Amino acid sequence: MKLADTRAVITGGASGLGAATARHFRDNGASVTLFDRDAEKGQALAAEIGATFVQVDVTDADSVRDGLAAARAAMGGINVAINCAGIATAERTLGRKGPHDLETYRRTIDVNLVGSFNVSRLAAAEMATNEGTEKGVIVMTASIAAFDGQKGQAAYAASKAGIAGMCLPMARDLASTGIRVNAIAPGIFATPMLLELPEEVQAGLAADVTFPKRLGDPSEYAALAAFIVECGYLNAETIRLDGALRMQ
């Protein structure tokens, strides 16, 4: 599949990794529809790059169905879904204030894991109607926390490990339909949330990266997502993108 032939839905597309991916895909001729809860940022970016924006809650089935219908109408179909929507929480299993808040845990799993599955399953149904042997590509966003999560990351690591764990069975489920499924596991990236930290904190995080000793650039995530789309033999893989970082 060539990027110029891509009709991509990108969740979490208003900022961070999703926004960088949307820019990269549009720069290379793809049609793009952004899904995000932030209508102001989503509409502004869509207008800037020539994309479509739909306000979508990835955890809600009806919201995603409506969003996909709008994307299909705008682009003439859907053959790529990239899941970048997610939240990060930091709370220990047992902290000074007591046990980990259960609703926070549930919300993290719901947005990061259930939301990714919800979008992927419904996007797959759209892709199944496409012509040709390869009908579509799904890209999910895991994290290196799925493999070496740190203190305070029980909820986040569990949600991202779930994405890594469902990549293979989902690829097997969709093989007969002609849909490939892969995931990217980013390390420490210069996203808006991380860039809000003091510079000395950012420098300390970068120092732990093996090489190159810097934060990842969202454009590098976008480039890998594009490679996954175009490399027809790449399937059922969770690819670490982390400068060889192994978190302590």
Strand partners, 83: 11, 140
Exposure class string for 194-217: b at 16+ Cβ within 10 A, else e: beeeeeeebeebbeebeeeeebbe
The CA distance from 27 to 4, in Å, is: 9
Sheet holding 80-83, edge to edge: 52-55, 31-36, 7-11, 80-83, 136-141, 179-186, 238-241
* Cβ atoms of 59 and 202 closer than 8 Å: no
Is 233 among the residues known to form the active site? no
Supply 116's token pair. 């990714």
Where does residue 70 fall: left (phi above 0), alpha (psi -120 to 50 degrees), or beta otherwise? Answer: alpha
Long-range contacts (CB closer than 8 Å, 24 or more residues apart) made by 37-45? 38/14, 41/14, 41/15, 42/13, 42/14, 45/13, 45/14, 45/19
Q: What three-state secondary structure class fits 35? A: strand
Strand partners, 241: 186
Structure tokens at 103: 């609703």
Strands 136-141 and 7-11: unpaired
Residues acting as catalytic residues: 156
